[in-house]
Structure 1
Amino acid sequence: MKNIRKTLIQKRKQLDKFQQRQSASLALIFFRTFLTTSYHQKIGLYLHAFGEVHTQLLIEECYRLNKDVYLPMICNMNKKLVWVKVSHHQYRNKRFSLHRLGMKEPTASRGHHVSYLDLLVVPLVGCDHKGTRLGMGGGFYDRTLATAPHRPFRLGLAHSFQLLDQTLPRQPWDQALDALLTPDQIYHFKR
């Protein structure tokens, strides 16, 4: 797993600005269709930081469709994520703080549990055809989702090369995805 993670992270970092823009633009087409054919109102997204598919177009689309946007904040006490509602004004003015792990997060004192969300867009390093997600290794999303009495729809977001042909080992604590959005299409998984 470590070798797969390392290889995929390296491949993500090697993408140039044009490739990133192209991935984000193509992913937006599928994301727009997904949002307009679903009833999701409270949407959890993330701010890209480590070579993931850039999320700004998706976030702007949520605002355009009058969806509520929530961004993750790490709770240092239990190493779980909480979700902070961010207005379009806050997002546009980049009112975020830099977490020590290298990603930006909203500045707030409180957030909502992941159960509050209807849709959760999840970053990943790799994913197999069964919805098993390989993350960065910190376990933040798995820990957070494991305690959710109501589970939001889990939509992974990835570059096309991050969908793996091989089956990843799934541990009991691993939280599978419902679907994966790539610049090529949306893949739905059985749970």
Structure 2
Amino acid sequence: MSNQTSNLRKQLKQQRKNISSFQQARSENQILSFLIRYPKFQHSNKIGIYLHAFGEIHTKKIIEYCFKMNKLVYLPMICNMNQHLVWVKISQHQFRNKKFSMHHLSMLEPKSSRGFDVSTLDLLIMPLLACDQNGTRMGMGGGYYDRTLASAPHHPYRLGIAHDFQILEQPLLKQKWDQPLDALITPSNHYHFKRQSSQ
């Protein structure tokens, strides 16, 4: 990783961490308001989404809305055998009662012995540290989403959600393994990308 990329990642992590609870709640409401009207979300039944833990856009209200609309909700779990993500379907009861375990990377995971391949999902709502105008996504650095999506290039639809400061004007350095987004929603804007091959 270049020093420039390392410094950018460090800066964005800190900026995300410093967001107030008021601003987080406002941003989540604004993104949910857009999602409700978003055709891809409306027509998707199997929704993959994350549990926020590191200053990402909060997802509690989005998940509750999915349950309200009778959508199936899937959360990521790290497969220790290959360091890919698998997707575990959860119930509203499980979510509300916080029946999760803590992974050593400090993220909550659903308690399950098995999960589904990412290609099972219709829509994948993804966290990120940064995204550029071409849909190149910078994650936390573990490469879990990139490894997982590399084996499912056409499905599901990849939707990033992020704070406004996380969309960058300057292009990110794209690596051959980077998996691009189809679209990005921020509290004040919406971006569509023409997905390029990562090869």
* TM-score, normalization by structure 2: 0.93
Q: 1:149 to 1:180 in 2, by over 3 A?
A: closer
Partner of 2:6: 2
Deviations 1:110-135, CA, capped at 9 Å, x for gaps? 00000000000011000001100000
Is 1:66 the counterpart of 2:70? The answer is: yes
- Separation of aligned partners in 1, 2:41 and 2:15: 33
**1:173 and 1:36, CA in 2 relative to 1: closer, same or farther beyond 3 A?**
closer
Q: Secondary structure at the match of 1:124?
A: coil
Residue matched to 2:181: 177
Tell me which residue corresponds to 2:143: 139
Q: For 2:163 and 2:122, how far apart are their aligned partners in 1?
A: 23
Give 1:157 deviation, angstroms: 0.9
Displacement of 1:36 in angstroms is 7.3
With over 3 angstroms needed to count, the CA separation of the structure-2 counterparts of 1:84 and 1:30, relative to structure 1, is same
Greater than 6 Å deviation, 4+ residue runs = none
Moved more, 149-158 or 53-62: 149-158
**Contact 2:48–2:74 at 8 Å: present in 1 too?**
yes
Question: Which sits farther off after the overlay, 39-48 or 142-151?
Answer: 142-151
Mapped to 1, the partners of 2:169 and 2:44 lie a distance apart of 30
Give the paired residue count.
191
CA contact (8 A) 1:45 1:72 kept: yes
Residue matched to 2:98: 94
Match among 166, 170, 179 for residue 166 of structure 1? 170
Selected match of 2:31 from 3, 17, 27: 27
In the alignment, which residue of structure 2 is the partner of 1:187? 191
Deviates most, 181-190 or 157-166? 181-190
Structure 1: distance between partners of 2:27 and 2:41: 22
**Paired residue secondary structure (2:184):** strand
TM-score, normalisation: structure 1: 0.97
CA RMSD in angstroms comes to 1.2
Q: What one-letter code is carried by the residue in structure 1 that aligns with 2:89? A: K
Query: Please, which runs of 5 or more residues in structure 1 have no aligned partner?
Result: none
Identity %: 60
Q: 1:159 to 1:149 in 2, by over 3 A?
A: closer
Alpha-carbon separation, structure 1, partners of 2:168 and 2:110: 32
